[in-house]
């Protein structure tokens, strides 16, 4: 795979290398910042690499800041812990390396470090590994102000000899660790969405040290504020619950792993009367189909248009279209069809979709639509704008297409079981899901697919005349 910017391979290891700004190179004492990513070239996982690069980039930005600003008040706890970890890495040391005490002594100053029940030999090794700490302790003893670099050394010492300080020090670090452990790909559409949910929750909550007194109350208050903010924006309770799912999982995992003793209670989310499902009128649907198939439009138009044609006929979400693989595209078969069989929200969503509108157009351009969805995070906004241009209705969204197919079935007299099978509505899609195991030739000649095609022609008959 192509390595990200600033990442270099040396032997079997990867490093983040980036030049300091020219104006700061003399103060930095070197031209280039180098940070080991602790990833072997023979063991690269994209999600882990992207996370390591993100951390290295943060450390680089922090190093630049430290060159120009020495006052400790300019830094937060996350920056202090990040700098201390980088300091230990540069010495080839690791957190808790010289700690033999597994209790949490809640050390609050560097001069209290001697109170930790540390083995004498380990303590001597720690002093040898970080001789600068003696000067920091002397400064604090005589009341001399500590620079941020002094605090970094002191915090690095505590991380080295105190097992409790090896734990994530902030809520943000809990998320970083959780995302890395779960393999969350920060570059994927889903990974970005989950990270945005976390950032929005943290913005409503405020950063806090995981060891701080009252941290649990702080978290619960933040959950309540987040719910109030999201409901105030018009989101439904179901959407707020989805936004909090990974947040709660992260907090519970952190508490369990590090024995914080938090009992995370999910916030109360009141039931909100759901709004009526918006659907396209038959006239709007005709305008939309005509606009989609307009051959005078360019490449970008085709990517969005083919996506919408699939969504309208199969009640699809954009994410379902984006997961289509080459083997799922039966658009050149005797009975043109698409297979929705990859990761779906529910098992019932796995299904076969007969293509009865714009089959040739979909066959020619569906791969463009799939790649567009994979490469963009703003597809919903783009589709909304497309629908407005095609119909003049500014209230329509891509999700309206899913409800439109059900309205069409009801208006045109198609069977409930057929529209459920085609659209993946829970409970009635068994006919469609059974056919997912057929080969392409067997599927095209199957009685089940031909029956679904007939029903789809009924569902969309107002668009075929």
pLDDT at 103: 40
Pair 37, 107 in one domain: yes
Q: Among 264, 256, 259, which residue's Cα sits nearest to residue 221? A: 264
The Cα–Cα gap between 340 and 358 comes to 18
CB count within 10 Å of CB 33 equals: 18
pLDDT at 245: 94
> What's 384's domain CATH number?
1.10.443
Pair 154, 289 in one domain: no
| Mean pLDDT over each residue of the chain, to the nearest integer | 85
Local structure of 461: helix, strand or coil: helix
Name the burial class of residue 179, with classes exposed (0-12), middle (13-18) and buried (19+) by CB atoms within 10 angstroms of its CB.
buried
Mean pLDDT, rounded, for 226-253? 91
Pair 147, 294 in one domain: no
Q: Euclidean distance between the first and final Cα of the chain, in Å?
A: 50
- Indicate whether 353 belongs to any domain: yes
Pair 329, 446 in one domain: yes
The Cα–Cα gap between 78 and 69 comes to 16
The Cα–Cα gap between 56 and 229 comes to 33
Q: Phi and psi of 13, rounded to 5°? A: -120, 155
Pair 346, 404 in one domain: yes
pLDDT at 117: 46
- Indicate whether 155 belongs to any domain: yes
Q: What is the pLDDT of residues 103-116, one digit of tens each?
A: 444 433 444 444 44
* Residue 391's pLDDT band (cuts 50, 70, 90): very high
Tokens of 305: 């248009």
The Cα–Cα gap between 256 and 380 comes to 37
Where among 258, 290, 313 does a domain terminate?
258
Tokens of 114: 């001697």
Pair 153, 222 in one domain: no
Res. 311: pLDDT tops 90: yes
Write the CB contacts of 340 (distance below 8 Å, at least 6 apart in sequence): 314, 316, 320, 323, 324, 328, 349, 350, 351, 352, 353, 424
The Cα–Cα gap between 257 and 432 comes to 43
Q: Are 350 and 424 in contact (CB under 8 A)?
A: yes
Name the burial class of residue 316, with classes exposed (0-12), middle (13-18) and buried (19+) by CB atoms within 10 angstroms of its CB.
buried
Number of domains in the chain: 3
Q: Are 292 and 358 in contact (CB under 8 A)?
A: yes
Res. 435: pLDDT tops 70: no
Write the CB contacts of 348 (distance below 8 Å, at least 6 apart in sequence): 424, 425, 426, 427, 429, 433
Q: Longest C-alpha distance within the chain, in Å? A: 90
Q: Phi and psi of 123, rounded to 5°? A: -65, -40
Pair 34, 99 in one domain: yes
pLDDT at 102: 43
- Indicate whether 356 belongs to any domain: yes
pLDDT: which is higher, 427 or 151:
151
Residues in the chain: 465
Where among 224, 258, 292 does a domain terminate?
258
Structural domain containing residue 191: 171-258
Pair 68, 152 in one domain: yes
Res. 429: pLDDT tops 50: no
Mean pLDDT, rounded, for 312-327? 92
Helix H segments across 233-298?
A: 237-258, 282-292
Q: Are 12 and 42 in contact (CB under 8 A)?
A: yes
- Indicate whether 91 belongs to any domain: yes
Q: What is the pLDDT of residues 256-307, one digit of tens each?
A: 988 889 999 999 988 765 566 689 999 999 999 999 998 778 889 999 999 9
Q: What is the pLDDT of residues 32-65, one digit of tens each?
A: 999 999 899 888 887 778 878 888 998 999 999 9
Q: What is the pLDDT of residues 72-91, one digit of tens each?
A: 888 888 888 889 989 998 88
Q: Are 429 and 420 in contact (CB under 8 A)?
A: yes
Which whole-number Å values give the CA distances from 435 to 89, 323, 444, in the listed order?
A: 55, 19, 10
Q: What is the dihedral of CA 37, 40, 42, 45, to 10 degrees?
A: -40
Pair 38, 130 in one domain: yes
Pair 157, 208 in one domain: no
- Indicate whether 223 belongs to any domain: yes
- Indicate whether 234 belongs to any domain: yes
- Indicate whether 430 belongs to any domain: yes
Pair 139, 193 in one domain: no
Pair 68, 211 in one domain: no
The Cα–Cα gap between 328 and 443 comes to 12
Taking the whole predicted model, whether its pTM rises above 0.75 is answered as no
Q: What is the pLDDT of residues 171-200, one digit of tens each?
A: 988 998 898 888 777 777 788 889 899 999
Hey, which residues does 246 pair with through a beta bridge? none
pLDDT at 183: 78
- Indicate whether 158 belongs to any domain: yes
Q: Phi and psi of 73, rounded to 5°? A: -70, -15
Tokens of 62: 């922090």
The Cα–Cα gap between 357 and 451 comes to 16
Hey, which residues does 209 pair with through a beta bridge? 170
The Cα–Cα gap between 171 and 209 comes to 7
Where among 125, 140, 166 does a domain terminate?
166
Write the CB contacts of 445 (distance below 8 Å, at least 6 apart in sequence): 334
């Amino acid at each position: 795979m192509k390595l990200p910017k600033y990442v270099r391979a040396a032997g079997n290891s990867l490093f983040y290398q980036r030049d300091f700004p020219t104006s700061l190179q003399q103060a930095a004492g070197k031209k280039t910042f180098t940070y080991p990513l602790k990833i072997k070239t023979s063991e690269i996982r994209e999600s882990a690499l992207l996370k390591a690069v993100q951390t290295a980039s943060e450390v680089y930005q922090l190093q630049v800041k430290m060159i120009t600003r020495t006052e400790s008040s300019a830094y937060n706890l996350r920056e202090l812990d990040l700098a201390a970890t980088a300091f230990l890495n540069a010495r080839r040391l690791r957190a808790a390396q010289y700690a033999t005490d597994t209790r949490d002594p809640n050390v609050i100053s560097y001069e209290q470090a001697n109170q930790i029940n540390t083995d004498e030999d380990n303590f001597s090794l720690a002093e040898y590994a970080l001789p600068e700490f003696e000067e920091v302790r002397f400064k604090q003893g005589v009341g001399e102000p500590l620079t941020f670099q002094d605090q970094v050394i002191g915090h690095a010492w505590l991380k080295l000899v105190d097992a409790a300080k090896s734990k994530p020090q902030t809520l943000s670090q809990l998320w970083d660790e959780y995302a890395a452990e779960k393999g969350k790909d920060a570059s994927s559409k889903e990974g970005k969405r989950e990270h945005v949910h976390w950032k929005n929750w943290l913005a409503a909550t405020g950063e806090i040290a995981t060891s701080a007194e009252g941290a649990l109350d702080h978290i619960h208050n933040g959950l309540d504020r987040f719910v109030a903010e999201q409901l105030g924006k018009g989101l439904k309770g179901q959407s707020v619950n989805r936004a909090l799912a990974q947040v709660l999982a992260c907090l519970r995992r952190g508490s369990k792993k590090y024995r914080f003793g938090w009992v995370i209670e999910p916030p109360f989310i009141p039931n909100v009367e759901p709004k009526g499902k918006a659907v396209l009128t038959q006239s709007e649907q005709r305008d939309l189909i005509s606009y989609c198939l307009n051959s005078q439009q360019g490449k970008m138009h085709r990517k969005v248009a083919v996506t919408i044609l699939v969504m309208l006929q199969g009640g699809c979400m954009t994410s379902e279209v984006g997961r289509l693989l080459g083997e799922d595209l039966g658009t050149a078969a005797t009975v043109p069809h698409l297979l929705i069989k990859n990761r779906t929200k529910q098992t019932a969503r796995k299904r076969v979709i007969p293509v009865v509108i714009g089959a040739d157009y979909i066959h020619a351009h569906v791969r463009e639509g799939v790649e567009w969805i994979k490469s963009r995070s703003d597809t919903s906004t783009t589709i909304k704008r497309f629908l407005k241009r095609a119909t003049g209705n500014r209230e329509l969204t891509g999700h309206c297409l899913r409800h439109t197919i059900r309205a069409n079935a009801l208006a045109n007299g198609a069977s409930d079981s057929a529209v459920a099978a085609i659209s993946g509505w829970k409970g009635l899609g068994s006919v469609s899901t059974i056919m997912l195991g057929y080969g392409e030739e067997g599927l095209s000649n199957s009685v089940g697919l031909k029956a679904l095609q007939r029903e789809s022609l009924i569902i969309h008959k107002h668009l075929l005349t």
